[in-house]
A and B are shown apart, each in its own frame.
Chain A
Amino acid sequence: MLRMWRVGLLSALALAAVPAHAFIAYVSNEKSNTVSVIDTDSWTVTKTIKVGQRPRGIDFTRDGKFVMVAVGDDDTIQVIDAKTQAIVDSLPSGPDPELFAQDAAGKILYVANENDNTVTVIDLEKRARLGDIQVGVEPEGMTISPDGKTLINTSETTNMAHFIDTSSRQIVANVLVDARPRFAEFKHDSSELWVSSEIGGTVSIIDPKKHEVTGKVTFEIPGLRKEAIQPVGIGMTRDDKTAFVALGPANRVAVVDVASRKVTKYLLVGQRVWHMAFTPDEKYLLTTNGVSNDVSVIDVAAQKVIKTIQVGELPWGITIAP
């Protein structure tokens, strides 16, 4: 009897300690030089952390213990301890780091340095620089194939997606896409690579084996000029059925049916929507809105915006604890 009671008490405690959807999101605010911490249970900002200058790319380490944030104007990547929410270290990037990607194991970090046309390779355990890869002019988007063998880097000026072999660190292919490629995302089954072009106003779909563009997603919003539609961030559900594309100053996120490559819905979020992140249960998608200085919460199943959270000035990137 006593034992049963004890078990009951323990499970009650366990439940109390882990509320249903309590995830933690970190948002980099490019203009106010801060990172906002959002609790996804209360949908409020629980802390604002002062970081270096011009924070943009932001990501949790795979173990969820640290948050890395690229502070471009300070030429480094700062490391925030997720427990104490304080900056504890920095990583040796090149000049003006903007965005980075880590391999599946979370051991190696690849950093796009906007100013010197290189990608810096960093050992995350030792927090030491392993080397540099020479890439196209103004490297921007970064992603790694699910098998970890290919690193994709997009170049803002040459309008290419570079395919880099992660073992030899050599460029093995260049694929031309539309003007100013910004962001790259693989389908989870590796069969396609999606690359957004901010000025071209499209998302190119690339066959990663043949290195060929096999199709394009186009966007049209009645009453909006084409220049206002600037695709940037891309998020894809784990089942690879639905993609969400942030359209910048169109203030909307496009919902795309991956199979047909057609937009099924546009959701009005905030002004200059830029990047996005799913909660680990994929119930919600959070977007950063740079001009309205807020984060929109999209109910993924309902495809509806359910909440807006004010953060710092010019929110740019977002990451959610695994």
Chain B
Amino acid sequence: MMSRIVVMAALALALSGTAARAADPRYPDWPCTQAKVPVISLAAVWAGPALDDAETKWKDDAKVSALVAKLSARKTPLDEAEKSVKDFLAGSTDKTANAKLLFAGLFDTLNAQRSQVMSGLERVSRKQREAADKIREETLALQALQGATPRDEAKVEALSNELIWKTRIFEDRHKVVRFVCEVPTTIDQRLFALGRVIQQEME
């Protein structure tokens, strides 16, 4: 029992160690192996005409706003989203203007979505560091309790159980973080793919 706790606590500490050693010193809380790119620059995804006032006006167009919301949702499959872009642009009178509005909306929305996911990851990363500190402290406390004479079995048992729980939560969170680390890239891919379809339709 004791050895299991020590192993788990050691594991937790090892994990927190990796989280603390961020690959990029500019972003100490960034927990992912993927490099952190804070915002997607427009030029990386768009080679079309300047967006100009489309950057602010897209919100005023009800049809465009609704479509942006639908296309930005991760639950909308990408091929379905691409088809919606084609349908929308095929049926519009001023194709270029609408294409610019639609892309401006997607660029705004998906970049914001990405920022949210990334700040969430950094928040969890900070929490994990705190949790690791706590586990480290309690492991030391448990060792002290176990070495004491007379030994308070009830206390040892209570603290052991708590440590097991805390370690388990820590590990679960660690797994979720690794999964969520893929999300910014998925958003990049969606923005690029939709931007490419929009540009092709404009030609």
A binds B: yes
By a beta-carbon cutoff of 8 Å, the part of chain A in contact with chain B is 221-225, 228, 249-252, 266-268, 270-271, 291-293, 308
Asked if B44 and A228 sit within 8 Å, CB to CB, the answer is yes
Count class of interface residues, chain B: 10 to 19
Query: Per a CB cutoff under 8 Å, which of A225, A228, A249, A252 touches B47?
Result: A252
Residues 30-47 (chain B) with a chain A CB within 8 angstroms:
41-47
Residues of chain B contacted by A292 (CB below 8 angstroms): 189, 192-193
Q: Give the number of residue pairs across the A-B interface with Cβ within 8 Å.
A: 37
5 intermolecular pairs with C-beta atoms under 8 Å apart: A222-B43, A271-B188, A271-B189, A291-B189, A292-B193
Asked if A221 and B43 sit within 8 Å, CB to CB, the answer is yes
By a beta-carbon cutoff of 8 Å, the part of chain B in contact with chain A is 41-47, 185, 188-189, 192-193, 196, 199
Please give me the residue from chain A that is nearest to B47 by CB atom.
Answer: A268
What separation, in Å, do the CA atoms of A270 and B44 have in the docked complex? 10
Nearest CB in chain B: distance from A303 CB, A: 13
Query: Per a CB cutoff under 8 Å, which of A224, A271, A291 touches B41?
Result: A224
Asked if A223 and B47 sit within 8 Å, CB to CB, the answer is no
Asked if B43 and A223 sit within 8 Å, CB to CB, the answer is yes
Please give me the residue from chain B that is nearest to A289 by CB atom.
Answer: B192
Residues of chain A contacted by B189 (CB below 8 angstroms): 271, 291-293
Residues of chain B contacted by A249 (CB below 8 angstroms): 44
Residues of chain B contacted by A251 (CB below 8 angstroms): 44-45, 192
Please give me the residue from chain B that is nearest to A271 by CB atom.
Answer: B192
What separation, in Å, do the CA atoms of A221 and B42 have in the docked complex? 11
Given contacts A268-B196, A308-B196, contact A224 B188 (CB under 8 A): no
Instruction: Taking A250-B44, A251-B192 as given, write out 17 further A-B residue pairs in contact, using a Cβ cutoff of 8 Å, ordered by the A residue number.
Output: A223-B41, A223-B42, A223-B43, A224-B41, A224-B44, A228-B41, A266-B47, A268-B46, A268-B47, A268-B199, A270-B192, A270-B196, A291-B185, A291-B192, A292-B189, A292-B192, A308-B196
What separation, in Å, do the CA atoms of A322 and B43 have in the docked complex? 36
Asked if A225 and B196 sit within 8 Å, CB to CB, the answer is no
Query: Per a CB cutoff under 8 Å, which of B41, B45, B185, B192 touches A225?
Result: B41
Please give me the residue from chain A that is nearest to B185 by CB atom.
Answer: A291
What separation, in Å, do the CA atoms of A249 and B188 have in the docked complex? 11
Please give me the residue from chain B that is nearest to A251 by CB atom.
Answer: B44
What separation, in Å, do the CA atoms of A267 and B192 have in the docked complex? 14
Nearest CB in chain B: distance from A59 CB, A: 28
What separation, in Å, do the CA atoms of A203 and B163 have in the docked complex? 56
Nearest CB in chain B: distance from A45 CB, A: 15
Asked if A224 and B43 sit within 8 Å, CB to CB, the answer is yes
Please give me the residue from chain B that is nearest to A307 by CB atom.
Answer: B200
What separation, in Å, do the CA atoms of A221 and B43 have in the docked complex? 8
